[in-house]
Structure 1
Amino acid sequence: MIRLFRFIGLVEGITTLALFLVAMPLKYWFGMPELVRPVGMIHGLAFIAYILAMVFILPGRGFSGKDWMRTTIASFFPFGTFLNDPFLKRKQLADEARIA
């Protein structure tokens, strides 16, 4: 299940970068605001999916309060979910070893 959460984190991170590095520069530098609304909506849905996935997937998988805080904060910063992914991969491997 942590693998699914990592995938959702990847999507959330990619949509953040698409918004900040594609849609917003097109709007503010080139006067082309057309992409901000759809990319922003997709990013918003990805963010909500990330938070919901945290609530439903992570409990009971060995995450401490500090781990929860780290994973939550990662969603608020560009590149945060990418930087947090190696940590999540270690948690995933530990969880899979525990279950097997």
Structure 2
Amino acid sequence: MAEVEEQSKTVAPCPTFSGDDGNQPGSQLDPSLGFERWHSKFCTYLQLKGITDPGPQAPEGERNRFEAKRVDHLKNFLRGSASNLVYGLSHADQGSYNRILAALCEA
């Protein structure tokens, strides 16, 4: 148990995602970190933090808590135009992980 607690304390932070290309003067973004690659890193980060899908058989409350946690973490790692895009969505869309991902993919 102590190993799990220690491991969760040392999880490397997920990189942020802005949706910018990184080619602007003064940009510190990695232009090779496109959305798909960033999302893969983000999903790994969630797994390392212990935020895993409880599955369709889990109680609705547990599924709702999982959805809220991953949406909160997702919003936390968005910057710049990606953040502006998400916070420009309707309140219902802002609360849906899949709708946020769809909006980011379409942008």
Name the TM-score, length of structure 2 as normaliser. 0.35
Name the TM-score, length of structure 1 as normaliser. 0.36
Return the structure number with greater relative CO, CA threshold 8 A, min gap 6.
1
Give 1 or 2: higher helix fraction. 1
